Amino acid sequence: MTAVFDPGAQAARATDAILADTLSGTSRGIVVDSPPGAGKSTLVVRAALELAAAGHPLMVVAQTNAQVDDLVVRLAEKDPGLPVGRLHSNDSDPYDKVLDGLANVRKSAKASDLAGLDVVISTAAKWAHVKNVEPWGHAIVDEAYQMRSDALLAVAGLFERALFVGDPGQLDPFSIVGADQWAGLSYDPSASAVSTLLAHNPQLPQHRLPVSWRLPASAAPLVSDAFYPYTPFRSGTDHGDRRLSFGVASDGSAPDRVLDEAAESGWGLLELPARHTPRTDPEAVRAVALVVRRLLDRGGAATSERSPDPVPVTADRVAVGTAHRDQAAAVRAALAELGVTGVAVDTANRLQGREFDVTVVLHPLSGRPDATAFHLETGRLCVLASRHRHACIVVCRAGVAELLDEHPSTEPVQLGVMVKFPDGWEANHAVLAHLGEHRVRWEA
């Protein structure tokens, strides 16, 4: 073994082991933990293609229609000749129209219409209604940590064995009613599918994709320490492999200075004066929009392992993340006012699984007078802090550290529930402490 860390080789070893278990292993299930940007989708597509090629027809379970359509498109890109079935709901517009252009993709609301195809893909919700069919030999369950245990219960009878892939650090599934009475039970219906699966089958092989190809060297250690303390990962690229530069020099304003800081270090904190504000804090919203506008105006360009020449950071490579929908709406309006279009602006829930060059985040606790469990949820901050390939800029009112101190963590503890993840309070402090080193103060 050489002393030099070779991320490519390490990731390849992990992938090979996963595929070997999937194709020729004897376990009924295989679990793969994938930190942000570790190549989860690539793995799912590859596993599906190899299973199909080996003569094992399979079903794929994803959680949302967008995820299903995305997988169908990726499969068709890799192997246009592969017969793929897209099982969809009876609603109007049940799938993305892009699928109509794919020659070997058959779409139907009835599973029987798709019988015999190499790969059949649908959402967990739709699969749950499929009855009286011959079970598939193989299945892939994607985003398994975002799937609820009861959803797995409804579909598990459809397959003999399955590969479960997901990111344990993202937002947990939730229920709209209390489920405390089942907490601690191995099959708690409100828990994630993976926790139930492993509680009943602890001997299943568990793999981990060890390398994040998305997160830069500046971000992987922080995200790994703060959100994956017990299952660390590292970045596939090194310091200096990625560079963000601007065609136009800074004008000395706070947005320009925080952009320069983020280009240099990967992180930037634009700190507004402490104040309690409504959720749609007009000043913070405007600051977010200004940062985006300046990023585009200054001709941001990204250099990375993907191409030796700088690639312009265009609007579609930028995202704004918020905690609430009304905040996203306010940011969209502010961007429209500044004439910016094409930037993805969404909540953490909807940004899950997506990737950009630069992200601008309105801190979930900015301006808040209180820190609720919703705002402290680790998964929310983790999603927001792990969508970028180059830099993440956080816009926040001063005083969040003090706010956290006023709301010490007093989470209830259910007996028998596995601790999977760090405390939201602690993770927030950890991220904030790191951001504090890249602070630029807003001057009105």
Partner 1 sequence: MSLISTLARLEAVESGRAQPMTTVLHRHLTDRPLVLVPLTTAGEAGAPLGALVGTDRDSPRLLAVSQPRDRDLRFAFLAELAEAVLPHIEAYEDVVEPTERNETDPETGKKVKVEVELCADAPQLIVPSRAGIDFVRLLGRSMRFRRTAEDDPDTPYPAPARVPLLGRWLTHYGERARVPGSSLLLATTDLLNRHWATGQSSLEDQHLGALLAWIAAPAGESGARAALRAELERDGEGQLLCPPAGPATDPAFDNRLLAPAIEKYDRARTSLAAAEDGLAADARLAELTAAERDIRALLAGIMRPTWDAVWRGLDLLKELPEGSRAEDRWTRDRWSFTGHRDRVRSGEPPQPRRDDAVTAAQKLASRETAQAQLEAQEALDDPLVLAGRRLAGEAFVGDVTGVVMAYSESKRPSPRPLVTVRTDERPHLGERTKVYRSLDGRPQTAEFVEYAAEPEDGDAPLLVLRITDRMGRSKEPAPGSVPEPGDRIAWTLFEHDQRGGPKLPDPEETPWTHGGPPGATAGQAERPDPVTAEDLL
Partner 2 sequence: MDKAALATALGSPAPFGQSQFAFVRGNAFEAKVKADGGTELMRLLHERLGGGAEAPREVLVPDLTAAGPEGRAARTALALREATEAGGWALLDHPMLALEVAGSPTYLEPDAVAVHPDGTWTVVEIKSFPMIDGSADAAKVGAAARQSAVYVLALERIAELTEGVEVGHRVLLVCPKDFSNLPTASVVDVRKQRAVTRRQLARLTRIEDIAAALPEGTTFDPECSPQQLDAAVESVGATYAPECLAACELAFHCRAKARAAGAVEALGRSVRGELGGLTTVGAVLAAAAGKEGDPADPTVVALRRAAALRAEALEGSAACR
Binding region for partner 1 (CB under 8 A) = 28-29, 92-93, 125, 128-129, 131, 149-150, 152-154, 156-157, 175-179, 181-182, 185-190, 193, 196-197, 200-201, 325
Binding segment for partner 2 (CB under 8 A), chosen from 17-25, 51-59, 64-72, 177-185, is: 177-185
CB of residue 344 to partner 1, shortest distance in Å: 15
Q: Are the CB atoms for 258 and 264 separated by under 8 Å?
A: no
User: Which option in partner 2, partner 1, none does residue 373 bind, with CB closer than 5 to 8 A by kind?
Assistant: none
User: Which option in partner 2, partner 1, none does residue 411 bind, with CB closer than 5 to 8 A by kind?
Assistant: partner 2
CB of residue 352 to partner 1, shortest distance in Å: 19
Sheet-wide strand order for 300-304: 243-246, 300-304, 307-312
Give 99-107 contacts, CB < 8 A, sequence gap 24+: 99/69, 99/72, 99/73, 102/72, 102/73, 102/76, 104/76, 104/80, 105/72, 105/76
Q: Is 429 in the site for partner 2 (CB under 8 A)?
A: yes
Gap between the Cα atoms of 46 and 350, Å rounded: 25
Q: Is 206 in the site for partner 2 (CB under 8 A)?
A: no
Residues 313-342 that bind partner 2 (CB under 8 A): 330
Residue from the set 20, 54, 248, 418 that interacts with partner 2 by CB under 8 A: 418
Residues 219-248 that bind partner 2 (CB under 8 A): none
Among residues 257, 259, 281, which one has the least CA distance to residue 396?
Answer: 281
Beta pairing partners, 123: 62
Gap between the Cα atoms of 79 and 113, Å rounded: 22
Q: Is 422 in the site for partner 2 (CB under 8 A)?
A: yes
CB of residue 341 to partner 1, shortest distance in Å: 17
Q: Which is nearer to partner 1, 416 or 436 (CB)?
A: 416
CB of residue 330 to partner 1, shortest distance in Å: 12
Q: Is 95 in the site for partner 2 (CB under 8 A)?
A: no
# binding residues, partner 2 (CB under 8 A):
36
Gap between the Cα atoms of 284 and 146, Å rounded: 31
CB of residue 298 to partner 1, shortest distance in Å: 33
Q: Is 419 in the site for partner 2 (CB under 8 A)?
A: yes
User: Which option in partner 1, partner 2, none does residue 137 bind, with CB closer than 5 to 8 A by kind?
Assistant: none
User: Which option in partner 1, partner 2, none does residue 129 bind, with CB closer than 5 to 8 A by kind?
Assistant: partner 1
Query: 270 φ, ψ to 5°?
Result: -95, 110
Q: Which is nearer to partner 1, 83 or 205 (CB)?
A: 205
User: Which option in partner 1, partner 2, none does residue 324 bind, with CB closer than 5 to 8 A by kind?
Assistant: none
Residues 256-315 that bind partner 2 (CB under 8 A): 275-282
Q: Identify residue 74 by its one-letter amino acid code.
A: R
In the stretch 361-400, what mask flags binding to partner 2 with x, by CB under 8 A? ------xxxx-x----------------------------
CB of residue 275 to partner 2, shortest distance in Å: 6
User: Which option in partner 1, partner 2, none does residue 280 bind, with CB closer than 5 to 8 A by kind?
Assistant: partner 2
Q: Which is nearer to partner 2, 74 or 420 (CB)?
A: 420
Positions that interact with partner 2 (CB under 8 A): 180, 183-184, 275-282, 330, 367-370, 372, 401, 405-406, 408-416, 418-419, 422-423, 425-426, 429
